[in-house]
Chains A and B, each alone.
Chain A
Amino acid sequence: MIEFEHVGKRFGERVVIEDLSLRIDDGEFFVLVGPSGSGKSTLLRTVNRLAHVDSGIVRVDGRDVSSVEREALRRGIGYAIQSVGLFPHRTVAENIATVPRLLAWSDADVRARVAELIDLLRLDEPGIADRYPHTLSGGQQQRVGVARALAARPRIVLMDEPFGALDPVTRESLQTRLKAIQRDTGTTILFVTHDMDEAFRLGDRVAVMLDGGLAQVGRPLDLLHRPVDDRVRDFVGGTHARLRELAVRTVGGSMRVGDRADGEPVDAADSLQDALASMLAQRRDRLPVRERGAIVGAIVLGDLVAREP
């Protein structure tokens, strides 16, 4: 659990965070979005004390972070950043092992955990564990960065645009991995991004940060359907909002149960955006829906268009 209570932060004259309060629950995937310079990274860093607050309190699991020994606090919180910051003089395995080593895990535990993470993040190119970061592709480096953040099984992980510089395909596969890992482990993740699609795909809740304050906090659909003002509306997508919504909803929730249709079926767990793409590709306005191998209903284009919030 992460709590911000009336947090304020300034750099010199410039107020970067102003009277911000927020509570992130255990096991929640919480995403911060907002334009450049709105203070997202700074807010994230107040949690592991890479930035200290000028006023207010940040609590992790109920404890004021300023009362916890700094190194101990940081070793207990995972941290991944866009620039990755892998240690160039250490192999992939050594990089991943950083925090477990700082925590003085036994060699056997460290080795087992590294192997597990290499597997978990699909870093399965033969021999990759013993390679140095400069021999990896950008995508592989980001994976190692995420693996390093997760290595000591922290209950809280801070991620600052960890998939920043990746192509859409790699990015999406990493998002899917991360979301699955987070669900399986019940980790609390505070995630910063510029990318609205990423925010909606990953976040249980999303906060829009504007000028050092939270303009709106809510589930993705709340933000799409009931933006509190025009700035949030513009930021979450303007006229593209309905298209984004399709990415958040699943086929299962909008299908006509028991109906029939021709064509290549879509999966009930797929997003409506995937279903729409399939309809366009097949030039059909209805498609069969499959769930656990059986056809259970149909999805209809008219329903997607007409659907009221």
Chain B
Amino acid sequence: MRGVDASLRGLGRAPFAGRLAPTLRIVVPLTVLVVLLLVLPHSGDWFHAWLPELSHPLYTRTSFAALTLTHVWLVAAATAASVILGLGLGILATRPSGRSLLPTVRAVAVIGQTFPPVAVLAIAVPLLGFGSAPILLALVLYGVLPVLGQSVAGLEQVPASTLHAADGMGYGRWRRLWEVELPLAAGPIMAGVRLSAIVSVGTATIGSAVGATTLGSPIIEGLIGNNPAYVVQGALLVGALALSVDGLLGAVERRFQRVR
């Protein structure tokens, strides 16, 4: 899971978020998000001043708050499903009985990430129709990979001597998993969850191309209708949301990492 690790490290050192103190990494993007949600609905005049040739400088088909809510809901549902699937598969693949699955799981995780989400949509729409379903499927398929990769990596790095001692003390299999392995793997697993959620925040926008209502709606409508103001409004909100999620889940991750 080197690839995942490397990309995670990249995210952790994102140009400006990386240099902010931990609490600022939550407070600043959240504040920006809230301010945007309050200000954007009244910003028609500014966008008109900037792009006077547009007849509709402000996206009004759905309120920005509603778009953000459905977007967050999509991401949350996809991330929850990814965690259940990814962690479940990761646990399975690291049990003695499931160890034969490990190479396959690794290969799928790596190949899966080279598969573009748009292609998933193209396959899913004929099966699931338009709306939220195909994008949810794409988000879950995509979101599972980092969680799975990090779960396997986290569980594998628990020292063998610790597991040997746990067995010798008389831990049962599941109790050992719950009380020893998962706490020790929690840091890497949370890193996977964070990556999964952030990728979903970005990827969910393309769901609007197949009929889902997301923060991608103004972006896609702006691209089709040649309206850069819509694109900017959607992109600002997506960016602030992504950084907020990153900050919040990063704090959870650091808490878990401090366990050791």
Contacts and interface: CB of A to CB of B under 8 A. Distances in A.
**Are A and B co-members of a single complex?**
yes
Interface of A: 48, 50, 70-76, 79, 81, 83-89, 98-99, 102, 132, 134, 145, 148, 158
B170 A102 contact: yes
B168 A79 contact: yes
Nearest to B260: A88
**Interface hub of B165, B172, B180, B183 (most chain A Cβ within 10 A):** B165
Contacts of A81: 161, 164-165, 168
B162 A88 contact: yes
A85 B165 contact: yes
B96 interface: no
B50 interface: no
Contacts of A83: 161, 164-165
Given A81-B161, A134-B260, A87 B170 contact: no
Interface residues of B, number: 19
Task: Return the 5 tightest CB-CB contacts between A and B, nearest first.
Answer: A85-B165, A74-B170, A75-B170, A83-B161, A79-B168
Contact of B170 (A72, A89, A158): A72
A41 B199 CA distance: 48
User: What is the predominant secondary structure among interface residues of chain B facing chain A?
Assistant: helix
A22 B146 CA distance: 52
B193 to A, nearest CB: 19
Interface of B: 159, 161-172, 175, 180, 183-184, 259-260
Given A72-B170, A99-B170, A102-B170, A85 B259 contact: no
6 contacts: A48-B168, A50-B168, A72-B170, A73-B170, A85-B168, A99-B169
A85 B161 contact: yes
Contact of B169 (A74, A84, A88, A89): A74
Contacts of B183: 89
Contact of A71 (B159, B161, B163, B170): B170
A102 B171 contact: yes
Contacts of B180: 87, 89
Contacts of A48: 168
A71 B172 contact: yes
B161 A74 contact: no
